[in-house]
Structure 1
Amino acid sequence: MVNQDLVDVFKALSHPIRIDILDDLKKQPLSTGEITEKYDVSRYAIMKHLNVLVDANLVLIRRKGRVRLNYLNVIPLQKLYNRWVSKYEAPLAQGLMQLKNLVEEREEEKMEQTTERKVDSFEIEQEIVIQAAKETVFKALTQDINSWWKFRLGEESSTLIFEPQLNGRFYEDWGNGEGALWGTVTYFKENEEIRLNGLLGMSGAVNSFYSYKLSEDDNKTVLQLTHHAAGILEPHWEEAHRHGWNELLFVHLKNFIEKK
């Protein structure tokens, strides 16, 4: 992240309404009209705030017909965290992890007792810039996926395979004919776009679709992720996938490509 990017992010976070808008978008994407209804200011003022957030890449705009939907993009916040926060965590890591594990165990017990799945949906939009050509990024998303996709449904030693073609599979091979399907390719345009249908660790009555779109800008590639899921969802699945995508794309994929 160059210094001007940092300036834009800090500027975006300097106004309480913009912070509140980001909190609202953390829950779900909202149209500009829906955001305006939440605040006692004019639509023009909200548009100005949104433009500042867009300039800082904290909000992504996607259009559905005549409606402008605004999505939270957590990548710039992750960059701030990595630059100033993460390196100070090491001395406290062991104690914090023990506390974290204890709290999570208690929360899981509560959820098992009181929480039920319900029919719901979520939409995740993320966008990252990678210092490489589209062809390099596309190759990493397909041929090299076993090298950077760190999540596994089986053993850590299992192999991830992506078949780069329509109806191709993205699957995890455990050996001896065993494994797990992460997704099936429903749209494939080389160096441009991939769409898949796959549960991505969820289970049950769920429809889940995710896609990658690539565009090149001055020897850099903008990778746009979209993930939609609907069905009988557990409450934590949206947040887990939001953080999971952020880790996979911003940390693992980006580092794999840029440090080669």
Structure 2
Amino acid sequence: MIQEDDLTVAFKALAHPIRRAILDLVKDGPKTTGYLDEQFENVSRYAVMKHLTLLEEAELIVVRREGRIRQNYLNAVPLQQIAERWMNRYQSDLASSLLDLKSNLERGKEEMENEYGYKHDTFQIEQEIRIKAQIDAVYTSLTENIDTWWAYRLCGEHSTLSFEPKVGGQFLESTSEDHGALWGTVTYINAPHEIRLNGLLGMTGAVTSAYSYKLRQEGEETVLSLSHQAAGLLDPNWHTAHDEGWKELLGTFLKKYVEEGKSYHEHSK
């Protein structure tokens, strides 16, 4: 359960409209401090930095510094804890796992790290793949035909993947009504040029994860740019595993499917 002191800090952070606006800006993915500063024309950079500091102290934002660049990530756990205090108990399994993990963390950071090996961290993956095909063909493969080339499964090799290319649409894996996994939810779409999703992609626990595809035509090739950001309590192996996984999924399975018509089953033979 959330402590009273933590509750006071969280409510203080949420009390100001600019701080709530900042959370709205970072909910679809990390934003640099410079970008956030530019969104508030009549507010000084000093004031924006003060708002960000309060959000960080309330653990509503996780900060990762990359050289001179400061990336700001949303941490939704305190918000879920507030909801848990007053809302009924009919919450999703994911929300329950977030709170269970947070409770374990409060028993002691050292104990948690020894038991799970998780660290409070962030990672960002950026990749670019060139595919010899028109942009519409690549976009269709990313959406309508995803079950043919997406090799990774959480529900067994005989499961089915579906993708709804609309805001709020689900990237869903299922074997039956009682067995399924949500790989992502569409938060933005501009067909055939960009798709953004929020989704854990096999990660569990107190994690915020967002990924996006951007497509552009260059001559006879389509350039597919992937961006994936995650923040929260992370297994140290997840960054490498997802980086290598994306390279295989997009650089091998998707590319082979679009260019040669091969499903991932055919590629593995």
Shared fold, TM over 0.5: yes
Q: Show the counterpart of 2:180.
A: 179
Q: Show the counterpart of 1:153.
A: 154
Q: How does 1:240-255 map to 2 (within 5 A)?
A: 240-255=241-256
Task: Determine the C-alpha separation between the residues in 2 that align with 1:145 and 1:151.
Answer: 11
Q: Show the counterpart of 2:234.
A: 233
Which SS does the other structure have where 1:252 is aligned?
helix
- The Cα offsets for residues 105-127 of structure 1, whole Å up to 9 and x where unpaired, read as xxxxxxx9676211100000000
Q: How does 1:10-89 map to 2 (within 5 A)?
A: none
Task: Determine the C-alpha separation between the residues in 1 that align with 2:156 and 2:116.
Answer: 29
Q: Displacement, 1:136?
A: 0.2
Which SS does the other structure have where 2:165 is aligned?
coil
**Number of aligned positions between the proteins:** 154
Identity %: 52
Q: Show the counterpart of 1:135.
A: 136
Q: How does 1:163-242 map to 2 (within 5 A)?
A: 163-242=164-243
Q: Output the amino acid matched with 1:139.
A: T
Structure with the larger RCO, 1 or 2 (CA within 8 Å, 6+ apart): 2
What root-mean-square deviation, in Å, do the aligned CA atoms of Structure 1 and Structure 2 show? 2.2
- The Cα offsets for residues 67-88 of structure 1, whole Å up to 9 and x where unpaired, read as 6x9xxxxxxxxxxxxxxxxxxx
Task: Determine the C-alpha separation between the residues in 2 that align with 1:217 and 1:116.
Answer: 43
Task: Determine the C-alpha separation between the residues in 2 that align with 1:204 and 1:113.
Answer: 16
Q: Show the counterpart of 2:126.
A: 125
Task: Determine the C-alpha separation between the residues in 1 that align with 2:219 and 2:176.
Answer: 43
- The Cα offsets for residues 135-163 of structure 1, whole Å up to 9 and x where unpaired, read as 00000000000000000001100000001
Q: Displacement, 1:178?
A: 2.2
Q: Output the amino acid matched with 2:205.
A: G
Q: Output the amino acid matched with 2:210.
A: F
Greater shift, 115-124 or 179-188, is seen at 115-124
Q: Output the amino acid matched with 1:167.
A: G
Which SS does the other structure have where 1:140 is aligned?
helix
Which SS does the other structure have where 1:156 is aligned?
coil
In 2 relative to 1, CA 134–119 (structure 1 residues): closer, same or farther, beyond 3 Å?
same
In 2 relative to 1, CA 258–163 (structure 1 residues): closer, same or farther, beyond 3 Å?
same
Task: Determine the C-alpha separation between the residues in 1 that align with 2:152 and 2:166.
Answer: 23
Q: Show the counterpart of 1:19.
A: none
| Structure 1 outlier segments of 4+, above 4 Å | 112-115
Gaps of 5+ in 1: 1-63, 70-111
Which SS does the other structure have where 2:204 is aligned?
coil
Q: How does 1:97-116 map to 2 (within 5 A)?
A: 116=117
- The Cα offsets for residues 168-192 of structure 1, whole Å up to 9 and x where unpaired, read as 0001012134200000000011110
